A = this chain, B = another copy of it.
Amino acid sequence: MIDIIGTIAAVLTTLSFVPQAVLVIRTRRTEGISLAMYAMFTAGVAAWLIYGISLGAMPIIIANVVTLALASIILTIKIRSVLPAQPSAQGATAATSAPIAS
């Protein structure tokens, strides 16, 4: 029973990043996404992956490989969006009302 709850938890928190990644890939809208969050989160998931590999724990490894891939996609698009051609975007907390190409 405990293992079932753990599995449900792992599947939900891992797969939850699929719709976020799809949304960001489709719309390229990243103003509402925190760069600091995804930088910390991606580093944290990488640490979880090392932790899982150290323990030889396949569920931790699988869940974190998937999450690392999805979080990396979101982080990459976010970093690209704050780098060029957006003079008013100074970072993750910049909230401008500049028009966005949809």
Contact surface of A with B, Cβ cutoff 8 Å: 1-2, 5-6, 8-20, 22-24, 26-27, 29-41, 43-45, 47-48, 50-51, 54-55, 92-93, 95-97, 99-102
Nearest 6 pairs between A and B by C-beta? A12-B44, A32-B32, A9-B47, A13-B44, A16-B40, A19-B36
Q: Is the interface of A mostly helix, strand, loop or mixed?
A: helix
CA distance A22 to B33 in the complex (A): 11
Residues of B within 8 Å of A17, CB to CB, are: 37, 41
- CB distance B47 to A5 under 8 Å? yes
Residues of B within 8 Å of A45, CB to CB, are: 9, 13
A32 is contacted by which of B6, B33, B51 (Cβ under 8 Å)?
Answer: B33
